[in-house]
């Protein structure tokens, strides 16, 4: 089971969503951060392995999206030519 957390490991940690597949989890997280971070600094897509280890698949950082949310015209997620 894949899990999406806001601020994993911090006092504000919150399980936001669970998904059966990696692609479903990443898609959900992409859609979540497209509308903002809900007050969290990071959004982690992760899985707990059978040995109990927490393994991060992808981390979204609010700092990386700051220019995007503030309407910076020079900001682009993909280089356009």
**Model confidence, pTM:** 0.75
Instruction: State the average pLDDT for the chain.
Output: 84
What are the residue boundaries of the structural domains of the chain, listed by start?
2-69
Alpha helices (runs of H) in the chain, residue ranges in sequence order: 22-34, 62-69
Integer Cα distance of 14 and 69 in angstroms: 22
Convert the pLDDT of each residue in 23-46 to its tens digit: 999 999 999 998 888 889 999 999
Q: Dihedral sign, CA of 40, 43, 48, 52?
A: negative
């Amino acid at each position: 089971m894949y899990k999406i957390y806001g601020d994993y490991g911090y006092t504000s940690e919150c399980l936001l969503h669970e998904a059966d597949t990696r692609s479903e989890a990443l898609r959900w997280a992409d859609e979540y951060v497209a509308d903002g971070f809900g007050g969290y600094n990071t959004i982690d897509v992760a899985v707990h392995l059978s040995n109990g280890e927490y393994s991060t698949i992808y981390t979204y950082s609010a700092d990386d999206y700051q220019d995007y949310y503030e309407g910076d015209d020079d900001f682009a997620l993909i280089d356009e030519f």
